[in-house]
Amino acid sequence: MGMIILREVTVRYEDGTVALDNVNLTVEKSEFAFVVGPTGAGKSSLFKVLIREIVPSHGTVFVAGYDLTRMKPSQAPYLRRLVGTVFQDILLLPERTVWENVAFALRATGVASSEDKREVPRALAMVDLLDKAKAFPWQLSGGEKQKVALARALVINPLILLADEPTGNLDSQSSREVMELLLRVNRQGTTVLMATHDPFLVGSYRKRVIELNSGKIVRDYMPGVS
Amino acid sequence: MGWISLFAFFLEEAWVNLRRHLVASLATVSTVALTVGLWTSFTSASKGLETLLAWEGKKLTELRVGLKLWVKEEQAKQVVEKVQKLPFVEQVRFVHKNEALKQMERAYGNAVPFQELIGHNPLPHSLEVVCRSPEWVTQCQKVLKTFPEVDWIGHHPEAVERFLAIVNGVKVTGAALSLVLALVAFALIHNDIQITVYGRRNEIRIMQLVGATAWTVRGPLIMEGVLYGIFGSLLAVAILGSLMRILSERVPTGFAQGLLHACQLDSMTVMTVLGLGLLLAGTSALIASIRLVRVV
């Protein structure tokens, strides 16, 4: 059974806009896939469906074994502990150190503070930022900030990582570093779905590409495989 | 699940918020203090007035009942028994006419030998009746007037009524003012929580994304309200305590001094003030957090 399964999923907003139109998709455990498409193609709506911020107007969604269309809103937080998220707007807390930003996720999910000493360094080590633990976000580069956001998503040990344009605001060197980290996370068994506008990035890695346009999957392919 | 960690997290986040919008927080704490302090002042004042009534105000619940001249000592004692059975009477004392004369001589000085001047004791036997509370005095008078042995009843009903009117006035004014201030405090706390929700929109968004439950997101906001309640109540206690001390040093002895003494802040009052502040601020914050932080 796939880690993410969408069957005939349609998302129609109140103003009548169709964000996703009869989408069928399966992403396997430990798979890495790019989600590409122009602005308004439905990439962000797809991610919101996967963390149950949006409930589809039609169809069924399974994520990590949970049927999201039947899930009560009060259960959504428990799903989100299995699905880490990283966005283009990095959302770090400016008055807190790197360590505190990462530990914030543990606190918010009710993990005892005694776990910090074990979990925070582990997450920071995964993104190569252990030496910046005491730094504040304003002391970091764009790429480093994104790595902190990644560490915050990873510290709760998610099964799936959703990265929505994580390299959107980064230079090419930082983009490559973040990309390498995502691949490293994927190699450790986490399913990764990464939305991007960057065709060069997609072309540089031989990974599955799901192409969306006007809410429909127009192509779903593996580069180099005919 | 680390409940202690979660509580510490709420407390830490609430404290950060409180400091982040310090001026608004101070205004809220002051309003809570004013509300709780005023409520306590008025409640203490009315309670103090009632206590004073119990101390000195025996006079207000006391009736001097003069019996007719033909009533003998034995008959008077039977009247005492009848009066004693009335439900609103706390105590009855028979005053022999000789004792009444001595009381009069003491009051006017031994210089005037009443008995010698007149040749005999002209006073009747009388009773001292103490009612259970000032509210019963008028009713007691009405009943006693129906007794054939009763000649006159010495009392000033207008004093009782005036006193009761003052106590009720204090209670009603206090309740009305406290209610208005409670509404103001409620609105201010709601506004503060709204500012916090706006100021913390990134934290709230992150919490929701990493899987914090709705109550975990609301926790720091509710805790912020609880802190307003605690600080507001403590401020109220500190101000009231200082005010009492200053007043008791400056107010001359007499009724006002007695009233101040009766209004002293005891541990029970302090606990009530704390409870009230917590209830007011905690409830406001709870309602605001439920309204403002929706489950996404």
User: pLDDT tens for residues A17-40?
Assistant: 999 999 999 999 999 999 999 988
Across B1-10, B27-36, B261-270, which has the greatest mean pLDDT?
A: B27-36
Structural contact between residues A34 and A209, judged by C-beta atoms closer than 8 angstroms: yes
- Ranking A99-103, B146-150, B248-252 by mean pLDDT, the lowest is B248-252
Are B174 and B287 contained in the same domain? yes
Are B187 and B50 contained in the same domain? yes
A69 vs A41: CA distance, rounded Å = 22
Structural contact between residues B228 and B28, judged by C-beta atoms closer than 8 angstroms: yes
Does B9 contact A108 at a Cβ distance shorter than 8 Å? yes
Predicted confidence at residue B47, as pLDDT, reads 73
Q: Which residue from A81, A107, A153 is facing B9, i.e. has the nearest CB?
A: A107
The domain of B109 spans 60-159
Structurally, how many domains does chain B consist of?
2
Structural contact between residues B243 and B235, judged by C-beta atoms closer than 8 angstroms: no
Give, for B267, the enclosing helix (H) or strand (E). Answer: helix B267-292
Q: Which residue from B2, B203, B296 is facing A113, i.e. has the nearest CB?
A: B2
Q: Side chain identity at B61, as an amino acid letter?
A: T
| Secondary structure class of A69 (helix, strand, coil) | coil
Structural contact between residues B69 and B97, judged by C-beta atoms closer than 8 angstroms: no
Mean pLDDT throughout A52-66? 94
Are B7 and B153 contained in the same domain? no
Strand order across the B89-95 sheet: B89-95, B126-131, B62-67, B150-154
Which residues touch B268 (CB under 8 Å, ≥6 apart)?
Answer: none
Percent of chain A with pLDDT over 70: 98
The greatest distance separating any two alpha carbons of chain B, rounded to the nearest whole angstrom, comes to 104
Percent of chain B with pLDDT over 70: 85
3-state helix, strand, coil in chain A (%, to 5): 35, 25, 35
How large is the angle between the packed helices B3-20 and B214-250, nearest 10 degrees?
60
* Residue of chain A minimizing CA distance to B20: A95
A25 vs A27: CA distance, rounded Å = 7
Mean pLDDT throughout B264-270? 79
Are B155 and B167 contained in the same domain? no
Average pLDDT of chain A is 92
Q: pLDDT, tens digit, for every residue of B246-258? A: 887 777 666 666 6
Length, in residues, of chain A? 226
**More confident: B238 or B254:** B238
Q: Side chain identity at B117, as an amino acid letter?
A: L
Name the residue ranges covered by the structural domains of chain A. Answer: 1-82+158-226, 91-157
Does B211 contact A53 at a Cβ distance shorter than 8 Å? no
What is the ipTM score, two decimals? Answer: 0.88
**β strands within A138-215, DSSP E:** 160-164, 191-196, 208-213
Mean pLDDT throughout A56-62? 95
Name every chain A residue with its beta carbon within 8 A of the beta carbon of B5: 107, 110-114
Percent of chain A with pLDDT over 90: 73
Are B197 and B122 contained in the same domain? no
- Is residue A8 pLDDT above 90, yes or no? yes
Are B106 and B243 contained in the same domain? no
- Is residue A105 pLDDT above 90, yes or no? yes
Are B223 and B283 contained in the same domain? yes
Task: Name the phi and psi angles at B176, rounded to 5.
Answer: -65, -45
Average pLDDT of chain B is 81
Mean pLDDT throughout A152-180? 91
Predicted confidence at residue B59, as pLDDT, reads 67
Predicted confidence at residue A225, as pLDDT, reads 57
Q: CATH number for the domain including B75?
A: 3.30.70.3040
Mean pLDDT throughout B229-257? 82
Place of tokens 């169709």: A18
Q: Which of A33, A151, A44 is nearest to A90 (CA)?
A: A151
Q: Does A152 touch chain B (CB under 8 A)?
A: yes
Mean pLDDT throughout B135-157? 83
* Residue of chain A minimizing CA distance to B16: A95
Predicted confidence at residue B262, as pLDDT, reads 67
A201 vs B23: CA distance, rounded Å = 49
Q: Which of B252, B209, B180 is nearest to B31 (CA)?
A: B180
For domain A1-82+158-226, the CATH architecture is 3-Layer(aba) Sandwich (3.40)
Name every chain A residue with its beta carbon within 8 A of the beta carbon of B213: 74, 77
Q: Which residue from A74, A77, A104 is facing B211, i.e. has the nearest CB?
A: A77
- Is residue B296 pLDDT above 60, yes or no? no
Joined together, the tokens standing for residue B162 give: 């005036």
Are B45 and B115 contained in the same domain? no
Q: pLDDT, tens digit, for every residue of B58-106? A: 667 788 889 988 888 898 889 899 998 888 888 899 988 888 888 777 7
Are B173 and B40 contained in the same domain? yes
**β strands within chain B, DSSP E:** 62-67, 89-95, 126-131, 150-154
Does A156 contact B1 at a Cβ distance shorter than 8 Å? no
**More confident: A98 or B192:** A98
Beta bridge partners of A66: A63
Domain final position from B119, B137, B159:
B159
Predicted confidence at residue B55, as pLDDT, reads 60
Distance from CA of B10 to the nearest CA of A (A): 9
- Is residue A192 pLDDT above 80, yes or no? yes
Are B147 and B203 contained in the same domain? no
Q: Which residue from A85, A112, A156 is facing B2, i.e. has the nearest CB?
A: A112
The interface residues of chain A toward chain B in range 156-185, judged by CB-CB distance below 8 A, are 156
Structural contact between residues B217 and B17, judged by C-beta atoms closer than 8 angstroms: no
Mean pLDDT throughout B22-43? 83
Predicted confidence at residue B109, as pLDDT, reads 62
- Is residue A10 pLDDT above 80, yes or no? yes
Are B270 and B194 contained in the same domain? yes
Does B5 contact A110 at a Cβ distance shorter than 8 Å? yes
Domain final position from B159, B181, B211:
B159
